[in-house]
Amino acid sequence: MFGCLVAGRLVQAVPQQVAEDKFVFDLPDYENINHVVVFMLGTIPFPEGMGGSVYFCYPDQSGMAVWQLLGFVTNEKPSAIFKISGLKSGKGSQHPFGAMNLPQTPTVAQIGISVELLENLAQQTPVASAAVSSVDSFTEFTQKMLDNFYNFASSFAVTQAQMTPNPSEAFIPANVVLKWYENFQRRLTQNPLFWKT
């Protein structure tokens, strides 16, 4: 039903089933993994109204399992990429694997998938640093940078009556900056990678 992929490694398509609704994949040498992809194989869909919470588990310094919620997969969202490289020092969170005695070794982490109701998935909050950088975060950064530039430039705006002539300074009308700002945002919305051409 599920698969797990780490760059440079073979696809894992046979998870260990540890309960009727819980599955785990072992991630040997997890310290050298930055991202992991969890996906549905497409052979068996989730039952109606169900989805899968995806957890990352690693052994802490004392060898105890630390579980962190990464996100979820559903029939509508059958795959997800998670960044796990920054999670190895974070705190654990509530998880459905608590009563299970899953073996932990110092160099092996696990990806756990718990089949749950979609309404329960919607109430869970994944660890923020598991989200992978995407065009959306680049677009968000660019828009915040544009907003910051426009606000900064606008803070120096003066009316023509307030201007004192100074032949060594060039003035850019505020409406020119606003027009550039609006055009850039429009182009960014149409194609976030337009600046590469």
Instruction: Calculate the alpha carbon distances from 176 to 1, 59, 135, 140, 153 in Å.
Output: 56, 57, 28, 23, 11
Is residue 96 within 8 Å of 141, Cβ to Cβ? no
Question: Quick one: pLDDT at residue 21?
Answer: 92
Residues 6 or more apart in contact with residue 28 via CB below 8 angstroms:
107, 108
In whole angstroms, give the CA distance from residue 32 to residue 95. Answer: 24
Q: 20-24, 40-44, 181-185 — which is least confidently predicted?
A: 181-185
How many Cα atoms sit within 13 Å of 81 on the Cβ side? 8
Q: What is the mean pLDDT of residues 21-30?
A: 91
Q: What is the mean pLDDT of residues 79-91?
A: 77
Which tens digit of pLDDT belongs to each residue from 168-189?
888 888 888 888 888 888 887 7
Which tens digit of pLDDT belongs to each residue from 47-68?
999 999 999 988 877 777 888 8
To the nearest 10°, report the CA torsion of 138, 139, 141, 145. 140
Predicted confidence band of residue 24 (pLDDT cuts 50, 70, 90): very high
Question: Quick one: pLDDT at residue 96?
Answer: 61
Predicted confidence band of residue 23 (pLDDT cuts 50, 70, 90): very high
Is residue 6 within 8 Å of 14, Cβ to Cβ? no
Q: Say what the pTM is.
A: 0.63
User: Could you tell me the two tokens for 73?
Assistant: 């997969």
In whole angstroms, give the CA distance from residue 11 to residue 25. Answer: 11
Residues 6 or more apart in contact with residue 151 via CB below 8 angstroms:
none
